[in-house]
Amino acid sequence: MEYDGEPTLGSLLLKIQENPINRNGEPTSPVAWGGSCLENLCGGCAIQVNGTYKMACNALVKEFKEPILIEPLEKFPVIRDLLIDLTSLQKDIRYFKPWKKLDGYSSLNHFPELDPNLWEEIYPLSLCHQCGICLEACPQVNKRSPFKGAAPLTEAFLIQKKEKLKKRKMDRTLKILGKGGIGYCDFVGNCETACPRHLPLARAMAKISQESTRSYIHHFFYES
C-alpha cells in the first residue's frame, strides 16, 4: 500500500476503509476496528503490531519492519477483524465498586479540594483509558488465574484514596485483597512497560498491596 508522509496505522486503516479490496484487487468488506478519537484518548484501538501492543491511532508506520502484521488483542473476544469486546474488563472494574455514594456535594456549587500531594499521586492513574493492553501483557491474567489485572485494581485504588466512609473503604479493601485481587499479582511490571500512556502501573500495584494490607491489619487489631 502506498502512502505519503509519516502516517499512523490508524490513518492507513481509515484509508483502507475508503476503498476496501482484497489481495486480488476485488472489493471486500472494510476492516472493523475500534478507532474513535484518533488521539490516544478513548482506548478503543488497541492492537498487536508485529507482536507488540500498540494503539493504532498513534503507532507510526515507520516504526515497524515490513511486512507489518496487525492482529487483535488475544485475551478478549474478537467481534470482527481488529474489533474486540471489552465487556469482561468493565465487569472486573465494577467488581471493586470504584465509585462513591453521593455525599451532599452534588447539590452545592463546589466540591472539596484534594490535597496537592494526593492529587499528584493519583492524577496519573486517572489518565487510564481502559484499553486492555495492561491485561494483555500480564502473564498472570489468563484462563487459569482469577487475577483481574492492573486496570481494575488501579480504578479501585483511585477511589480508595478519596473514600471517607470506613465501612465502604474496608469492604473494598477486602475485595482488593480477596480472590482475583492484588495477591495474585507477581509484580513483573509488564503492565507498566506495555501501557500506551506510560502510566506508573507497577509502582501503583506495589502501593495498592502495601496500603491495603496495612489497612486490613489496622482494622483487624484496632477497629474490630
Q: Where are the domains of the chain?
A: 9-84, 87-223
Check residue 111 and give its pLDDT. Answer: 60
- Determine whether domain 87-223 maps to CATH 1.25.40.10: no
User: Binning pLDDT at 50, 70 and 90, where does residue 172 land?
Assistant: very high
Strand, coil or helix: what is 52? strand
Longest dimension (CA), the chain: 73
Distance CA 174, CA 141 (A): 20
Looking at per-residue pLDDT, the higher value among 50 and 103 belongs to 50
Nine-digit cell at 119? 492529587
Mean of the per-residue pLDDT values for the chain?
90
| CATH homologous superfamily for the domain 9-84 | Beta-grasp domain (3.10.20.30)
What pLDDT, on a 0 to 100 scale, did the predictor assign at position 102? 63
User: Phi and psi at residue 27, in whole multiples of 5°?
Assistant: -60, 140
* pLDDT, position 108: 59
Burial pattern 75-106, b for ≥16 Cβ within 10 A else e, equals bbeeeebbbbebeebeebbebbebeeeeeeee
Q: What is the pLDDT of residues 122-149, one digit of tens each?
A: 899 999 999 999 999 999 999 999 999 9
Query: pLDDT tens for residues 189-205?
Result: 999 999 999 999 999 99
* pLDDT tens per residue across span 95-126: 998 887 666 655 556 666 778 888 888 899 99
pLDDT of residue 32: 93
Q: Please count the other Cβ atoms lying within 10 Å of the Cβ belonging to residue 29.
A: 10
Sign of the CA dihedral running 33, 36, 40, 42: negative
Q: What does the alpha-carbon distance between residue 65 and residue 10 come to, in Å, rounded to a whole number?
A: 17
Please report which confidence band the pLDDT of residue 163 belongs to, taking 50, 70 and 90 as the band edges: confident
User: What is the pLDDT at residue 41?
Assistant: 87
Residue 64 cell numbers, joined? 515497524
- What lies within 8 Å, CB to CB, of 152 at 6+ separation is 89, 92, 93, 95, 96
The pLDDT > 70 percentage for the chain reads 93
What whole-number percentage of the chain has pLDDT above 90?
69
